[in-house]
Amino acid sequence: MKRQTNARKNLFNILFLVLIIGATAWYLFRDQDMPELLSAVAQARKEWLAAGVVLVVLYVCGESVIIRYLLGKLGKKAALSSCIRYSFIGFFFSCITPSASGGQPAQVYYMKRNGIELTDSALVLLIVTITYKFVLVFLGALLCLFGNGEFWMRISEVKGVFFLGMALNVVCVAAMLLIVFDRGFAKKAVMGLLGLAERCHLLKPSKERSRKWSNAMDEYHAAAGFFVEHPGVIGNVFLITLVQRICLFAVTYLVHLAFGGSGDGIVLLPSLQAVISISVDMLPLPGGMGISEGLFLRIFPTVFGEDRVLPAMLLSRGISYYVLLILSAAVTGISQLLEKKRAAE
């Protein structure tokens, strides 16, 4: 029954994703000359686009390296190939669920199938998420402090959305840090939610369940204490995540080169792409779909030109999101088949 419920939920999420893709495509292409648009896309140099795909794969593999590194610090061995699979699976379910809410539960499920305890996987993935968002805040702060006149001129139409995204990410990171490092707050919050669910008759009262949850939180914070005592670990994760993020933002720069652009925008273009990511990261839409495309079309016309900004957006967004969505869907599908085969055996 639970498996059927999850299947229906995933089907609904996929249909929702398809609906948003359809609405976004209609909005973008409704007044376009499609043959002319496709011709402009075809003019892009393929070697730079291929380099963009490589950067996107490195972006996913960066998370895999972090997961393996953190598990190792907790005394858990994991093959890099398995961690790469966790990362692709997480990306796929993040893509098809609002606010990317389905990625980590899916990763926890597959880690559990490979013998990694919930307390370890949950802590590792929470550290990954906190660092992922903290790097966004860090980069946003750098842009606010050191952005030159050209940068602010390029984002003049979207400054409000950018500052809102920054504020939401700061609040999110602060809340996550409380959960990880404030033993009393996290335990009270979790046990309080459990009690509320029982009082609302969403769950039947169970002393055994309460004991297990309480013990799990104690184990969770025992592991969290390790990271408090080893700040160098967090520092290394921060640096890997920073490189990971820059790889993704640099895709737009490679698309610029694919259209014959000069190398002058090697800092500016990734910075402008970072503005889009910061702005949409907390929005309850899969991959910030629709909003990301709209912001690109507002920020980049003076970079690519009015006639090429839409083809550039299609290639940049296509590589950094849709190509990765297809790859992660393939990895997830293969993983599901392997799990079914293992269960049958």
DSSP per-residue letters across 12-64: HHHHHHHHHHHHHHHHHHTT--HHHHHHHHHTS-HHHHHHHHHHHHHHHHHHH
pLDDT confidence tier of residue 2, bands split at 50, 70 and 90: very low
> For the segment 39-81, what is each residue's pLDDT rounded down to a tens digit?
878 889 999 999 999 999 999 999 999 999 999 988 888 899 9
CB distance 318 to 262 below 8 Å: no
Give a yes or no: residue 208 inside a domain.
yes
pLDDT at position 223 is 63
Residue 1 belongs to a domain: no
State yes or no: pLDDT of 4 exceeds 60. Answer: no
95 vs 44, which has greater pLDDT?
Answer: 44
Residue 327 lies in domain = 46-344
Please report where in the chains the tokens 């794969």 appear, as a residue.
Answer: 57
Residue 251 lies inside a defined structural domain of this protein: yes
> How far is the C-alpha of 231 from the C-alpha of 30, rounded, in Å?
52
pLDDT value at 5 more than 60: no
Q: pLDDT of 130-169, one tens digit each?
A: 889 999 999 999 999 998 888 999 999 899 999 999 999 9
8 is a domain residue: no
CB distance 279 to 9 below 8 Å = no
Cα separation, 9 vs 4, in Å, equals: 9
117 within domain boundaries: yes
Give domain status of residue 207, yes or no.
yes
Q: What is the pLDDT, as a whole number, of residue 59?
A: 94
Sequence-distant (6+) residues with CB within 8 A of 53 are 319, 323
Task: Report the percentage of the chain scoring pLDDT > 90.
Answer: 30
Assess if residue 300 is contained within a domain: yes
Q: What is the pTM of this model?
A: 0.82
* Mean pLDDT (whole number) for 299-323: 88
- Total structural domains in the chain? 1
Q: Is a pLDDT exceeding 90 seen at residue 258? A: yes
As a whole number of angstroms, the distance between CA 130 and CA 247 comes to 19
3 versus 213: which is more confidently predicted? 213
Average pLDDT, the chain: 82
Task: Give a yes or no: residue 22 inside a domain.
Answer: no
The band of 8, judged by pLDDT with boundaries at 50, 70 and 90, is: low
Q: Can you tell me the mean pLDDT for 207-229?
A: 71
Question: Which secondary structure element, helix H or strand E, spans residue 253, and what is its range?
Answer: helix 231-258
Unique residue bearing structure tokens 């408090």: 228
Where is pLDDT greater, at 340 or 106? 106
Q: Quick one: pLDDT at residue 83?
A: 92
